[in-house]
A and B are shown apart, each in its own frame.
Chain A
Amino acid sequence: GAVVSQHPSWVICKSGTSVKIECRSLDFQATTMFWYRQFPKQSLMLMATSNEGSKATYEQGVEKDKFLINHASLTLSTLTVTSAHPEDSSFYICSARNSNQPQHFGDGTRLSIL
């Protein structure tokens, strides 16, 4: 149980385009979802926390206009990287949890901006 699906797993696009990443909890209701970014050989850095039906809470230094997060239902959250540039290339990972249960992670999305 506790499966989190993340899509797409890999995307390459041109500089200036916007990219949407989906995170779905398949067999539980995710009251909270988290978005992380990970550069090669580095740790997972929390970008934002989203609660269903509320605005996301962004970590310090993360541009909310650059990384748009929507958590419209208890099973789906989306991260949109707007006007992506090469420096946005990274591994983006979502996680989800129900109430105070442990977080379950998606398989990640590798984003490459050319």
Chain B
Amino acid sequence: GQSLEQPSEVTAVEGAIVQINCTYQTSGFYGLSWYQQHDGGAPTFLSYNALDGLEETGRFSSFLSRSDSYGYLLLQELQMKDSASYFCAVTQGGKLIFGQGTELSVKP
């Protein structure tokens, strides 16, 4: 089986930095992805890590440690529009298995 754990909610203020952690247990692993989903919308791909280390894309960065079965999404210079749900997902057997999601609230 597989399971992913991430915090259910996080609150931060505009301009701050926030880190959303994700730990996973899977029988097979090909990579960790992060998706953003605004209320009522579709998931939007943010980043993907297949190998250990940090991937940076603008204000968003993602980190993976395969030995620790752990990754995180780092959001810098938070903006109000970043308020959304963030999901980590593992690629397994060609399928995406999603975590339960972290609801990020950005306050003024």
Interface residue ranges, A against B (CB under 8 Å):
6, 32, 34, 41-46, 49, 91, 93, 95, 100, 102-108, 110
CB–CB B97/A93 < 8 A: no
With A43-B87, A44-B87 known as contacts, the answer to whether A105 contacts B43 (CB < 8 A) is yes
Give the B interface residue count (CB, 8 A): 18
What DSSP secondary structure best describes chain A's contact surface?
strand
Q: A43-B100, A102-B48 are known contacts. Are A108 and B95 too (CB-CB below 8 A)?
A: no
A41 / chain B contacts, CB cutoff of 8 Å = 103
For B43, give the chain A residue with the smallest CB separation.
A105
Number of A-B contacts (CB under 8 A): 43
By CB atoms of chain A within 10 A, which of B40, B48, B97, B103 has the most? B40
**Cα A41 to Cα B39 with chains together (Å):** 9
Chain B residues whose C-beta falls within 8 Å of the C-beta of A108 in the assembled complex: 40-42
Q: How far, in Å, is B45 (CB) from chain A's closest CB?
A: 6
Which residues in B have some Cβ–Cβ distance to A below 8 Å?
33, 40-45, 48, 87, 94-101, 103
Residue contact A44 to B43, C-beta cutoff 8 Å: yes
Within the complex, what minimum Cβ distance (angstroms) separates A39 from chain B? 12
Asked if residues A43 and B99 are in contact (CB atoms below 8 Å), the reply is yes
Partner of B42 from the list A46, A49, A93, A100 (CB cut-off 8 Å) is A93
Q: Decide: B40 and A110 in contact? CB cutoff 8 A.
A: yes
| Contact A49/B95 with A42-B100, A43-B87 known, Cβ cut-off 8 Å | yes
Please measure, in the bound complex, the distance between the C-alpha atom of A94 and the C-alpha atom of B44, giving whole angstroms: 13
**A41 CA / B37 CA spacing, docked (Å):** 11
Bound complex: CA of A100 vs CA of B103, how far in Å?
29
Chain B contacts for A44, CB-based, 8 A: 43, 87, 98
Minimum CB–CB distance from A26 to chain B (whole Å) comes to 14
Which residue of chain A is the closest to B30 with respect to CB atoms? Answer: A100
Of the A-B pairs whose beta carbons lie under 8 Å apart in the complex, a sample of 23, sorted by A's number, is A6-B42, A34-B96, A41-B103, A42-B101, A43-B98, A43-B99, A43-B101, A44-B43, A44-B98, A45-B98, A46-B95, A46-B97, A91-B40, A93-B43, A103-B96, A105-B43, A105-B45, A107-B41, A107-B42, A108-B40, A108-B41, A108-B42, A110-B40
